Structure 1
Amino acid sequence: MTGLSRRTFMAATGVGLVAPGIVTAAAAAGPNPRVEEVVGRSGVRAYLLREPSTPFISVRFVFADAGAAQDPPEKAGLANMASGLLDEGAGPYDSGSFRAALEDNAIRLSFDADRDGFSGRLETLNENRDLAVELLMLALTEPRFEEEAVERIRAQILTELRRRESDPNDRAGLAWFREAFGAHPYARAVRGTPETVAAITREDLVELTRTRLARGNLHVGVAGDITPGELADLLDAAFGSLPEAPQLPPVPATTLQRAGVVVEPLPVPQSVVVFGHEGIDRHDPDFYAAYVANYILGGGGFSSRLTEEIREKRGLVYGVYSYLMDLVHCPLWMGGLATSNENVKTAIGLVARECRRMAEGDVGEKDVADAKTYLIGSFPLRFTSNDSVARMLVTMSVQKLGRDYLERRNAYIEALTPEDVRRVCARLFSRDILIAVAGQPEGLEPTRAG
């Protein structure tokens, strides 16, 4: 189960040792990545990267457009609650025996939900693969949703929601999305509220699995010791009995509803700030230039401008970051920081100033060259395990990047010129920013624009 998550950028610069069960960086991101597309008799497709050295596989899958944006407003948190219940008993297994079957056989099975998708993860040794696939199939097609499990998971969610009411990170994030999207489903909390979670019934959970989980919106990525023929059989066994097509109303495209500053009063000595505006779509020709621009501004860890100006020069924060967020119906540029209440206004002003500098073209050739060197050189570090490879493969499928994306990706970045990045900075960073603050910021008044 999940809520608002922050995408982070890896700061390591070298390739680590290869542990058992790990796909090598060279295999994943070398000149011939060997990604294969496998299709089962049921029509289910998967991207596969084979690593036969260890008898172990990782499977990642996503049901696109089946996430929290599909939850009815009065049942917000439904997808999140379902993700916590699918492995709490299915078919002939009650909750205890299902969990025992996973743990006794070293099988890892979990589910998750975000705004756009409903996802899952399976990891197993080959000797237990048949059982693992059976448990996955049962979880997706015959979940029991027994009263004890439903009420136990509901209680856990309600406890977590109560805890998060005093968490400035959560409060700032929720406020940002609420103000940014108004009546759009993206405005609602992925975890829901105490009132909406209390309203969810067993029938709602059954309806979710019946209407949202189907072969037609399924994307799969697999890494490890499995042949294409074996994977085709796995796809049919795990997913072949799902409905052919989901029954999903369309989620409308949207834009940010406002800019300005919103304050969530919270009695804490340090405020949390979430900021952002509309980003650039993953398939926009300017995406890679925006990716490099964001690295320079706030995605590069200690080498970023925001860190240099706000942390290193002035000591106002321990960390500040920004990133591109790939929401399907409204891509975003987002960021965040935390600082003492008396420094919030100054820190926010510095974020706005650095955005203006970027928008006005203050980006040098060395800035761009250094960013390109890091983003190309660090790419193999995303492939440190079978699971990280499977996660990349399923992302490639969901975002329709193509089976050869791993071969093409670095060339897109290498081809960028400083002029490309400056042009896109003017497009990306000239937009008005929406800022949400949770805490007791001194001298900062709520404002409204847009």
Structure 2
Amino acid sequence: MSEAKAPRYGLLGLMVLLLVGALLATVRFSTPPDAGDEQPVESSQPAKKGLTTLAELDGKPPAHRSLDIQSWQTEQGARVLFVAAPQLPMFDLRLTFAAGSSQDGDLPGLALLTNAMLNEGVPGKDVTAIAEGFEDLGAQFGNGAYRDMAVLSLRSLSAAEQREPALALFKQVIGQPSFPQDSLERIRNQLLASLEQQKRNPAKLGSNALFQRLYGSHPYASPSDGTADSLRQIDVAALRAFHQRAYAAGNLVIALVGDLSREQAEALAAEVSAALPAGPALAKIGAPEQPEPGPSHIEFPSNQTHLLLAQLGVERRNPDYPALYLGNQILGGGGFGSRLMEEVREKRGLSYGVYSGFSPMQARGPFMISLQTRADQSQATLELVRSVLSGFLADGPTQAELDNAKRELSGSFPLSTASNADIVGQLGAIGFYDLPLNWLEDFVAQVQALDAKQVREAMQRHLDAEQLVVVTVGPAVEQKPLPEPGSQPAPPVDSGPRH
């Protein structure tokens, strides 16, 4: 069991933000298959043999591979997005359900626990037999649950002798889970142990507190991995009921990429859809209320203080998102060279890193700035970060910053469709958030057309440095002033807890 990482806002920020449900996601019990060794997909041209060298690029960014995305709906109501990729004899299948923790209701952790239990047993097979079944076929199974969504994935060779038995086992897992009691107790105990560990994790304490303050009574406020009380209340009947309701075919987006014909893809999607419970899409969650700004502090015995600053951001379909994405890359999402990194780390040595990012979701996701710094300089560092944000909102980016950010995007964006696994993830997000099929191409064009005034005005529409919700986690100590810019920074200190 491993904990899903929060998004990193850098060169590949777009890829991560597309799958924002993963943001601040909780525990993932098995990861989707890795596709790093695949050849890129090029749907409209024959595959080019050999590698493209830097000399061939001649200083230009690699070309973005256009995708011929085909879409239809199954008889049971699932939406399908398909890209044919005959270059490799395999396929990637990704199912995205509106079955994240925002659907937990009165039992936080229900979505996560249901998703984790799907491959624990089916009629005639226990968890070991399921794992061995996929392994014997050379197939890979993955699953995960997040705030907006739950995901299930399958990678297999596309030849019928491997594809058909792999798909048959996958259909059992998604449509006929037996939810064995012994597996429920084991996974519940793992989650309870994880909750105990979180009490010693200042970053997790801060994140939970921030979401509670930011979202109040909204479903996003609830911890995705549940509470000790709620986890103990979840039984097999609750898991079955959630599966019946949230894993219905009408609540599903099917993303499919690989060496399949349109006819084969339609047949595969129809099989998957028919294997699931019948039912409609779940109602979309409502909009959160505006939170009360201001600071709150969690006392924690450590040498450093975690700082989290946030506001409500935007929904995934907000038309300002291209401008907000570009503006944030300049503010704090682009790593080294961003405004925040320059002022906080490079000039003053206050932190190893400071990052900002929008996480657009079905409802308004958070805009967040996060860092950790010396406990005795935490308040001054907080004011510095707020000042950098205020200055950026007032003045916007310089032309040089804008040009650099656009150039970086044009160079990194082709990586967002560099493999079948990358593409199937993009298709899942496009389908889940109901984006246009040409969203990837349009996004790049929209970003490149932006000027500094448009970026500044978009950031001003959605952010206000005086309306930040602030959570700090660390010790209450006497505060010191910040060093002058360019002065020799103090040596870094260990941020672990004091025993």
TM superposition score normalised by structure 2: 0.82
Q: Kindly tell me: are residues 298 and 309 of structure 1, through their superposed partners in 2, closer, same or farther at Cα, counting changes over 3 Å?
A: same
How far the C-alpha of 1:216 sits from its partner, in A, is 1.6
Task: Tell me the equivalent position of 1:215.
Answer: 249
1:99-138 equivalences in 2 (<5 Å): 99-127=131-159, 128-138=162-172
Does 2:8 align with 1:8? Answer: yes
Conserved? CA contact 2:322–2:443, under 8 Å:
no
Task: Tell me the equivalent position of 2:387.
Answer: 353
Paired amino acid for 2:139: I
Aligned counterparts of 2:95 and 2:7: Cα–Cα separation in 1: 19
Aligned counterparts of 1:300 and 1:188: Cα–Cα separation in 2: 30
1:26-425 equivalences in 2 (<5 Å): 30=64, 32-64=66-98, 66-73=99-106, 75-127=107-159, 128-246=162-280, 248=282, 251-425=285-459
Structure 1, residues 313-364: CA drift from partner, whole Å, max 9, x if none? 1111111111111122223211211122122212211210111011112421
Task: Tell me the equivalent position of 2:462.
Answer: 428
Paired amino acid for 2:101: A
Structure 1, residues 6-39: CA drift from partner, whole Å, max 9, x if none? 22234389xxxx9753334897973632222244
Conserved? CA contact 1:94–1:144, under 8 Å:
no
Paired amino acid for 1:363: P
Task: Tell me the equivalent position of 2:473.
Answer: 438
Task: Tell me the equivalent position of 2:60.
Answer: none
Conserved? CA contact 2:214–2:310, under 8 Å:
no
How far the C-alpha of 1:249 sits from its partner, in A, is 5.8
Equivalent pairs: percent with the same residue?
A: 28
Conserved? CA contact 2:43–2:85, under 8 Å:
no
Conserved? CA contact 1:281–1:326, under 8 Å:
yes
Aligned counterparts of 1:438 and 1:168: Cα–Cα separation in 2: 6
Structure 1, residues 17-76: CA drift from partner, whole Å, max 9, x if none? x97533348979736322222444544332122221211111222112x21111133x21
Aligned counterparts of 1:311 and 1:26: Cα–Cα separation in 2: 43
Aligned counterparts of 1:208 and 1:95: Cα–Cα separation in 2: 20
How far the C-alpha of 1:397 sits from its partner, in A, is 0.9
How far the C-alpha of 1:406 sits from its partner, in A, is 2.5
**Which of 13, 38, 55 is the aligned partner of 1:21?**
38
Conserved? CA contact 1:61–1:218, under 8 Å:
yes
Paired amino acid for 1:21: E
Paired amino acid for 2:40: V
Q: Kindly tell me: are residues 351 and 4 of structure 1, through their superposed partners in 2, closer, same or farther at Cα, counting changes over 3 Å?
A: farther
Q: Kindly tell me: are residues 365 and 342 of structure 1, through their superposed partners in 2, closer, same or farther at Cα, counting changes over 3 Å?
A: same
How far the C-alpha of 1:250 sits from its partner, in A, is 5.3
Aligned counterparts of 2:174 and 2:193: Cα–Cα separation in 1: 26
Conserved? CA contact 2:213–2:291, under 8 Å:
yes
Superposition CA RMSD, Å: 2.4
Paired amino acid for 2:9: F
How far the C-alpha of 1:426 sits from its partner, in A, is 2.0
How far the C-alpha of 1:92 sits from its partner, in A, is 2.4
Moved more, 196-205 or 334-343: 334-343
**SS of 1:32 mapped into structure 2:** coil
Aligned counterparts of 2:42 and 2:202: Cα–Cα separation in 1: 38
Aligned counterparts of 2:151 and 2:320: Cα–Cα separation in 1: 28
Q: Kindly tell me: are residues 245 and 80 of structure 1, through their superposed partners in 2, closer, same or farther at Cα, counting changes over 3 Å?
A: same
Aligned counterparts of 1:326 and 1:19: Cα–Cα separation in 2: 26
**SS of 1:221 mapped into structure 2:** strand
Structure 1, residues 366-398: CA drift from partner, whole Å, max 9, x if none? 111211221222111122321111101111111
Conserved? CA contact 1:4–1:190, under 8 Å:
no
Q: Kindly tell me: are residues 11 and 37 of structure 1, through their superposed partners in 2, closer, same or farther at Cα, counting changes over 3 Å?
A: same
Aligned counterparts of 2:149 and 2:3: Cα–Cα separation in 1: 12
**SS of 1:403 mapped into structure 2:** coil
Conserved? CA contact 2:42–2:65, under 8 Å:
no
Aligned counterparts of 2:410 and 2:292: Cα–Cα separation in 1: 35
Conserved? CA contact 2:83–2:258, under 8 Å:
yes
Conserved? CA contact 1:376–1:413, under 8 Å:
no
Task: Tell me the equivalent position of 1:448.
Answer: none
Conserved? CA contact 1:2–1:190, under 8 Å:
no
Q: Kindly tell me: are residues 416 and 106 of structure 1, through their superposed partners in 2, closer, same or farther at Cα, counting changes over 3 Å?
A: same
Structure 1, residues 126-177: CA drift from partner, whole Å, max 9, x if none? 2422122222211222101111111111111111111111111111100100
Conserved? CA contact 1:2–1:80, under 8 Å:
no
How far the C-alpha of 1:78 sits from its partner, in A, is 0.7
**SS of 2:254 mapped into structure 1:** strand
Paired amino acid for 1:9: Y
Paired amino acid for 1:222: L
Q: Kindly tell me: are residues 273 and 135 of structure 1, through their superposed partners in 2, closer, same or farther at Cα, counting changes over 3 Å?
A: farther
Aligned counterparts of 1:326 and 1:179: Cα–Cα separation in 2: 18
Conserved? CA contact 2:117–2:179, under 8 Å:
yes
Aligned counterparts of 1:380 and 1:4: Cα–Cα separation in 2: 24
**SS of 1:302 mapped into structure 2:** coil
Aligned counterparts of 1:249 and 1:423: Cα–Cα separation in 2: 33
Aligned counterparts of 1:136 and 1:441: Cα–Cα separation in 2: 52
Q: Kindly tell me: are residues 443 and 284 of structure 1, through their superposed partners in 2, closer, same or farther at Cα, counting changes over 3 Å?
A: farther
**SS of 1:392 mapped into structure 2:** helix
Size of the aligned set, in residue pairs, is 438
Question: Any unmatched runs of 5+ in structure 2?
Answer: 14-34, 46-62, 480-499
Question: Any unmatched runs of 5+ in structure 1?
Answer: 445-450
**SS of 1:298 mapped into structure 2:** helix
